[in-house]
């Protein structure tokens, strides 16, 4: 059931994460980025250099956690934060502020950008308000979807904590209830509820479906690639909810996956999270067969003779909890980080 009203009550976030990551790590985040500007991260054809102080703004444009990040058709970098002084920050590629807006998304988490007829729109998931909101690029709210009460799987709104949305060319979309009950509500192109996928009965383990993307490949059926966070793997699922493949990423903690050209880019919140909450995380680049070809800020990917990926880990001080990323037309990567001492995104230039 859709709800066009904008009023809601903010609910405290479940303590699913210890956001107070060790202060010593958080406070060194910015200096460590500057000090490592001359270093080269990654292996093979996918190596990158950090750009010092990119996107660092003044006290009038604060961030808490940088959650989602996308690029629009004009090349602007759009960042979603959970600071209600400015939930959405829009940058030029140079790091200069273009615009900022949003004061009503205390649980801002997932950000998707969608081409819709002659315009682009944003879909924002809010963990505290238990809903998905659709807006224009400059912040006008167009529509919102509350908890899928009609599914019969939820007894109250607070059980629904959507983390991200996945969109297909036909206008339909899926919502990942990654911090709630692990279901995946499906909506058609008109925004009407179709059915519920996933959940425990659909083979989804708890603390799994965090971020994801529609995977559209020539001569292949459309599918979803889902970053399964604490489960340390990617999941390929068809549009009916059938699990097709599991791609293990041992030592990682995939929070979102983005495609650029023929490669996939994954942000790992940390290495071996949640067992080690002070670990820093890294990025992975995967080829079209979903094999890792480079770990940016992480150890060299090694597959044994049986093709099994060996455990990975961070080997650089550049990152502190990558949560999302986007690759621009010049192959630069922009990384949004969670619980990183209120630091702004990191820009990496390809070498």
pTM for the full predicted model: 0.90
The pLDDT, as a whole number, for residue 32 is 38
Sign of CA dihedral 175, 177, 179, 180: positive
- Encoding tokens for residue 302? 């090694």
- Encoding tokens for residue 8? 């809601």
CA dist., res. 77 & res. 91, Å (int): 5
Cβ contact 176:164 at 8 Å = yes
223's enclosing H/E stretch is strand 223-227
Per-residue pLDDT of the chain (351 residues; tens, 9 = 90+): 444 433 333 333 333 333 333 333 333 334 334 435 579 999 999 999 999 999 999 999 999 999 999 999 999 999 999 999 999 999 999 999 999 999 999 999 999 999 998 999 999 999 999 999 999 999 999 999 999 999 999 999 999 999 999 999 999 999 999 999 999 999 999 999 999 999 999 999 888 999 999 999 988 999 999 999 999 999 999 999 999 999 999 999 999 999 999 999 999 999 988 888 889 999 999 999 999 999 999 999 999 999 999 999 999 999 999 999 999 999 999 999 999 999 999 999 999
Tell me how far apart the 2 most distant CA atoms of the chain are, in Å: 57
Cα–Cα distances in angstroms (integers) from residue 331 to residues 150, 172, 218, in the given order: 43, 29, 23
Q: Identify any residues that bridge with 285 across adjacent strands, giving them in sequence order.
A: 265, 294
Q: Identify any residues that bridge with 88 across adjacent strands, giving them in sequence order.
A: 80, 101
The pLDDT, as a whole number, for residue 37 is 56
CA dist., res. 257 & res. 223, Å (int): 14
- Encoding tokens for residue 116? 């819709």
Omega cis (within 30) before 274: yes
């Amino acid at each position: 059931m859709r709800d066009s009203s904008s009023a809601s009550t903010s609910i405290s976030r479940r303590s699913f994460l210890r956001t107070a990551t060790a202060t010593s790590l958080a406070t060194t985040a910015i200096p460590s980025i500057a000090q490592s500007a001359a270093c080269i991260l990654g292996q093979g054809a996918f190596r990158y250099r950090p750009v010092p102080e990119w996107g660092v703004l003044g006290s009038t444009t604060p961030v808490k956690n940088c959650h989602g990040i996308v690029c629009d058709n004009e090349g602007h970098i759009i960042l979603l934060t959970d600071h209600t002084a400015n939930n959405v920050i829009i940058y030029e590629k140079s790091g200069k502020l273009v615009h900022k807006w949003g004061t009503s998304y205390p649980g801002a988490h997932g950000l998707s950008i969608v081409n819709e007829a002659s315009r682009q729109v944003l879909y924002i998931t809010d963990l505290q308000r238990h809903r998905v909101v659709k807006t224009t690029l400059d912040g006008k709210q167009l529509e919102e979807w509350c908890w899928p009460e009609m599914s019969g799987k939820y007894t109250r709104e607070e059980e629904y904590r959507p983390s991200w949305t996945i969109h297909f060319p036909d206008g339909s979309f899926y919502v990942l209830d990654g911090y709630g009950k692990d279901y995946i509500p499906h909506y058609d192109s008109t925004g009407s509820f179709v059915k519920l996928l996933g959940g425990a009965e659909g083979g989804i383990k708890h603390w799994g479906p965090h971020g994801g993307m529609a995977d559209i490949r020539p001569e292949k059926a459309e599918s979803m690639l889902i970053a399964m966070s604490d489960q340390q793997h990617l999941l390929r699922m068809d549009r009916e909810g059938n699990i097709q493949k599991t791609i293990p990423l041992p030592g990682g903690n995939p929070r979102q996956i983005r495609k650029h050209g023929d490669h996939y880019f994954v942000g790992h919140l940390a290495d071996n999270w949640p067992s080690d909450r002070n670990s820093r995380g890294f990025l992975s680049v995967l080829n079209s067969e979903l094999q890792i070809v480079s770990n940016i800020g992480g150890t060299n990917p090694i597959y044994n003779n049986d093709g099994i990926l060996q455990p990975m880990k961070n080997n650089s001080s550049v990152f502190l909890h990558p949560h999302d990323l986007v690759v621009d037309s010049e192959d630069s990567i922009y990384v949004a980080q969670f619980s990183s001492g209120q630091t702004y995104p990191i820009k990496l230039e390809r070498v």
